[in-house]
Amino acid sequence: MTNGKMITSNTHGDYFFQAEFNHEFQMTILGKEYYGSFQTGHGYYHNDYSLPTNDVSVYDDDGVLEKLDRSCGDYDDFLENSGLQISESEFLKIYEELVTLRDDAQLIVKELVAEDEAELEADTNVYIIVTPMDTDENGEIRQCGEQYSEKFEDHYEAEAAADAEREGGNLARICTKEEAYEIK
């Protein structure tokens, strides 16, 4: 199981988002070490923060690689907007390596999404969603924790667990596997 989370959307369709994807890398260009990471979730479909993309973005401690990446390979733009001075040949070598590493990281994300989709397709379990509830000092019932899902091998076990949760004061119901994957 990967860190994929099912995202449902009426505008973009359902998809797996690779939450917490962080692919660290190191490269040496002309004897100088560069360290960074590629991460997902920093771009959004339709500028909607509830729809993070699986596109990888580069991050590094000193910001050199980020600035270089934002230049899209334009050396003059990099010099103008970064305030950094490196040779054009060094710039092009770093950029070329960065593009190669980005492609590799994006391929890893694509493979993780394919794993999640295959797992969902093959999943025959039955799930319940539980919403923890509590009574406050005024006697009002309120949610007291994050929703979570539980997995069972058959419908009977799932229904018995949901009944036990409801008897304990929580909200619980059988749900689709897609709903369970959405809140994992």
Average pLDDT over residues 133-141: 90
Global pTM value: 0.80
| Average pLDDT value for the chain | 91
Could you tell me how far CA 24 lies from the centroid of its own chain? 15
More confident position, 155 or 19 = 155
Q: Could you read off the pLDDT of 5-51 as tens digits, one per residue?
A: 889 888 888 899 988 899 999 999 888 899 999 999 889 998 888 89
pLDDT at 151 over 60: yes
pLDDT tens-digit map of 80-105: 888 788 889 999 999 999 999 999 99
Alpha helices in the chain (DSSP H): 64-70, 75-82, 88-122, 155-167, 177-183
Q: How far apart are CA 74 and CA 88, in angstroms?
A: 10
